[in-house]
Amino acid sequence: MRILVTGGAGFIGSCFVRHILKKHKVINLDALTYCGNLENLKDVERNPDYEFVHGNICDKKLIRELVREVDCVVNFAAESHVDNSIKHPEIFIETNVQGTLNLLQACREIGIERFLQVSTDEVYGTLGKTGYFYETTPLAPNSPYSASKASADMLVRAYHETYNMPVLNTRCSNNYGPYQYPEKLIPFFISQLLKDEKVPVYGDGLNVRDWLYVYDHCEAIDVVLHKGKIGEVYNIGGHNEKTNMEITRLILEAMGKDESSIKFVEDRLGHDRRYAISNDKITSELGWKPSLTFEEGIKLTIDWYLKNQDWMKNIESKKVGV
């Protein structure tokens, strides 16, 4: 089988490309915006089953050409940083909504075995101190980023309902692991501490997220792509609820720092208080579950960044790219 992976030079996309190449041929389409990085895939660039195409999912002509060459599409391509969406929401609508629509239209017109949309638990909004997000939870996005992803998810649903298109939709919790762009909490804090700078914690630091190791996420997407029921949504979580302060203290301890390295900053606009995702459906129907505990995964992650400081420095100095 040949798969078109869009956004395959980003954090989760590059890990998925590496994972799925063990089974299938891959065309990786990426626009190489600031968070797309070909350094993430140096180890597979000479693989005969791998092809990279520099391009954008907003390019309708290119999308049609590529869809004709593959059996399935897995769409990771998205603007994803919430702070950036608050400053420039129009960019998120263009890529996350219009880009997804372009993909869906090409896949419908040409015919595709399966289209899998990779989404986020942020489309559900925020939770109180108890409860979980389920696939049936109403969508209630609270940031321009999550609103753009919810809009894309609704288009995916509509193309199934209207055109009977063979779609699948996954929604994941916060990912962590190697190759994550250092604007995100874990790699950013590691980078700051390596430079002996303080780490900024929003508000009181008690916002809760469910953390999922990236390669466990990739395995789950693989399972949904091959075994998932057409038209269905599958939540993917790690059942690792941690406050931002808990994550911060873990990183500080691993790097020999104390809480004097923390600076509390004004809370983010529209900052959801808690996410927690139920894995019941994907576990009971498809047999997937996380392979690593959070303690195992976070140790592997911190060790990777400490051993790959040049990778972070290259990204921060914008020396990487095409």
Active site residues: 121-122, 145
Written as six digits, the tokens of 238 are 């790690």
Residues 6+ apart with CB under 8 A from 293: 240
Q: 243: part of which helix (H) or strand (E)?
A: strand 241-243
Determine the longest span between alpha carbons in the chain, in angstroms: 58
Return the ∠ at Cα 278 (arms to 104 and 189), rounded to 5°.
85
Instruction: Answer for the pair 116, 172: CB distance below 8 angstroms, yes or no.
Output: no
Residue type, 152: A
Cβ neighbours around 246 below 10 Å, total: 16
Cβ neighbours around 34 below 10 Å, total: 13
Q: How far apart are CA 122 and CA 272, in angstroms?
A: 8
Nearest Cα residue to 192 out of 283, 312, 295: 312
Nearest Cα residue to 151 out of 126, 174, 122, 172: 122
Pairing of strands 72-75, 2-6: parallel
Treating both helix axes as pointing N-terminal to C-terminal, what angle do 185-194 and 309-316 enclose, rounded to 10 degrees?
Answer: 100
Cβ neighbours around 166 below 10 Å, total: 18
Q: How far apart are CA 117 and CA 100, in angstroms?
A: 9
Q: How far apart are CA 196 and CA 58, in angstroms?
A: 41
